[in-house]
Amino acid sequence: MRYRTVGIRSGFVLAAVSLALAVGCGPRYYRADADREVYRVLSRKQASALGETHAFSIEADLTDPLESVRRGEPSSAPAPPASIGAFSEDRISEIPEDGVPRQSGAVLVTLRDALRTAARHSREYQSRKESLYLAALDLTLERHQWKPQLSGILTGDATAGDAANSVGAGSSFGMSQLLALGGEVTINIATDFVKYTSGGLDSVAASALAVHVLQPLWRNAGRLVARENLTQAERDTVYAVRSFARFRKTFCYDITSGYYGVLRQRDAVSNQWQNYLRVRQSVERTAWKAAKGDLPAFEVDQARQDQLAAWDRWLQTVRSYQEALDRFKVTLALPADAAVELDPSEVARLREAGLREVPLTSEQAVRIALRRRFDLANTVAAVADAERRVILAANGLAPDVDLTVDVNVASEDRKPLRVELSRGTYSAGVEAGLPLNRKAERNAYRRALIELEAARRASDEQRDRVALEVRDAWRSLAETAARYRTQEQSLRLATRRVESTTALLEAGKAQTRDLLDALRDQLSAQNALTGALIDNTLARLALWRDTELLRVGEDGVWQDVTNVQE
């Protein structure tokens, strides 16, 4: 056998490099390095799992148009609106024409503004982003475990005594590497120097090289077992990417629903106010006719009672609207007293667009959802994970049979930087452990089998649930469209009824109660029409969400689906 003399000056080079890195790399560097690696991982996982990539960052975005409101700057936080208790019938001239109390100088927030603000500042959204980041961060560590692991220690000491004084230094550098079939190899180089400064002794220097190889041959052997943690981390990151993509769509729907919900309350305030004004006008007309003797006095009291009831309903509706607006502000992570108003023209645009047809049958929508839904893909993949864990648990029942190889080589005398392999000690052996105690492993194997069946049931249930959600969304869309058409007819009839009843009352052929009832029905029809239109819009958005066809931009704003291909 031929041996070589190995130089280990590289150990000192490693010492210098390690010392430089230890001094030069601070917390800021490590934070930036983690971000770069995580964002790179997420970009690649998005491309493979979603077929597209989105810019991702967990840092706060300060370009939000509502940031000044969030910070509470004086210019963006004017005096709050008047309290409901400050309103009275004898001061109705102070109330806006549409009956909606306003906060002077308030920032007008469009739906796009709300979606962008929520995506940047919502507490729930930020928590979901952090969960995705942490999943990728865990993956970076698992990947790192499969790279060469370097370690180094530098030591120095001084000794004073009666016999001799000395100054010493040492270093120890190691490297370990996981092997594809479950083994591990470790290499360590240690060097010691001692300089005697008294006592008549000379200097002493020595080095040692140690190599250890451990390779399981049965239990814990094989690529599947060895790379299980890495495999699961890779898959968990994919699951997190899909879950976050799914969350972005549901979150976008929830914000849109909340936004339109506030506007629905605002429209109800306006409708209630217009109803109050019409009832007030009818009271004045009734009182004038009663003064002429054309109507009995009790009809004036009836009309006045309805006027008071209309005023009371308006006050209640205003309170409900303001409460809904405050809750929505908190959803956007804005202060509840922030001076903002939602843009009422969003509802006007819905009215102008009217109903939009969806070119999908219920069966087509279900087929699309079953093929595209991210949450369903995760539950299907979880079955594969459970199947793999059964194989791993079965491997844990096998005997322990390990192959070990050790090499230990010391340096030449007084030549610590040169290691003569011919002076080394070499050994190899096989160690076998009988499977005499496998109770824990037995239980783990049985548990894995049960969890596999549970995963299969969960996957089947999720498939049925997805189909059910899509069918419900499709039915809701059809139902809200039919309701909208019905309420259009109802409002036309109610308006015509108010007009005809007013004319009959003027001609003395109807009673005041007939007009008051007609006005009440007209108010209900107005509210119902707006509600049906908003419900239909949200039902369409829910169908796109549940079929995974909804697209959400990097700014958090959804885009309506115009081209559907099964």
Over residues 254-281, the pLDDT tens digits come to 999 999 999 999 989 988 888 888 888 8
For residue 250, the model assigns a pLDDT of 95
What is the mean pLDDT of the segment spanning 190-204?
68
Query: What are the phi and psi torsion angles at 222 (to 5°)?
Result: 110, 155
For residue 6, the model assigns a pLDDT of 47
Measured distance CA(275)–CA(141) in Å, rounded: 66
For residue 163, the model assigns a pLDDT of 63
Provide the CA 155 distance to its chain's centre, in angstroms.
48
Band of the pLDDT at 74, cuts 50, 70, 90? very low
User: Which residue did the predictor score with more confidence, 33 or 20?
Assistant: 33
Lowest mean pLDDT among 24-38, 403-417, 480-494: 403-417
User: Which residue did the predictor score with more confidence, 63 or 328?
Assistant: 328
- 453-468 residue pLDDT tens: 999 999 999 999 999 9
Q: What is the pTM of this model?
A: 0.84
Lowest mean pLDDT among 52-56, 195-199, 285-289: 195-199
For residue 537, the model assigns a pLDDT of 92
The one-character DSSP state at 413 is T
Whether 375 has a pLDDT exceeding 90, the answer reads yes
Measured distance CA(430)–CA(300) in Å, rounded: 107
Share of the chain above pLDDT 90, in %: 46
Distances from the Cα of 347 to the Cα of 107, 176, 261, 537, angstroms: 18, 65, 11, 10
- 429-439 residue pLDDT tens: 999 988 888 99
For residue 10, the model assigns a pLDDT of 47
For residue 1, the model assigns a pLDDT of 44
Whether 352 has a pLDDT exceeding 80, the answer reads yes
For residue 16, the model assigns a pLDDT of 54
Whether 28 has a pLDDT exceeding 50, the answer reads yes
Range ranked top by mean pLDDT from 151-155, 204-208, 420-424: 151-155
Distances from the Cα of 407 to the Cα of 9, 146, 178, 425, angstroms: 20, 23, 18, 6
Within 10 Å of residue 249's Cβ, how many Cβ atoms? 20
Whether 174 has a pLDDT exceeding 80, the answer reads yes
Measured distance CA(448)–CA(352) in Å, rounded: 58
Asked whether the beta carbons of 51 and 551 are under 8 A apart, the reply is no
Residue 95 identity (one-letter amino acid): I
What is the mean pLDDT of the segment spanning 202-220?
85
Residue 170, SS3 per DSSP: strand
Measured distance CA(101)–CA(84) in Å, rounded: 9
User: Which residue did the predictor score with more confidence, 109 or 200?
Assistant: 109
Share of the chain above pLDDT 70, in %: 84
What is the mean pLDDT of the segment spanning 503-515?
72
Distances from the Cα of 518 to the Cα of 490, 494, 496, 513, 521, angstroms: 12, 7, 9, 9, 5
Band of the pLDDT at 289, cuts 50, 70, 90? confident
Whether 9 has a pLDDT exceeding 60, the answer reads no
Whether 72 has a pLDDT exceeding 80, the answer reads no
- Share the mean pLDDT of the chain: 84
Whether 43 has a pLDDT exceeding 90, the answer reads yes
Whether 298 has a pLDDT exceeding 50, the answer reads yes
Measured between its terminal Cα atoms, the distance across the chain in Å is 70
Complete DSSP assignment for 207-262: EEEEEEEEEESBTB-SHHHHTHHHHHHHHHHHHHHHHHHHHHHHHHHHHHHHHHHH
Whether 77 has a pLDDT exceeding 70, the answer reads no
The one-character DSSP state at 80 is P
For residue 24, the model assigns a pLDDT of 55
Give the chain's radius of gyration (CA, Å).
38
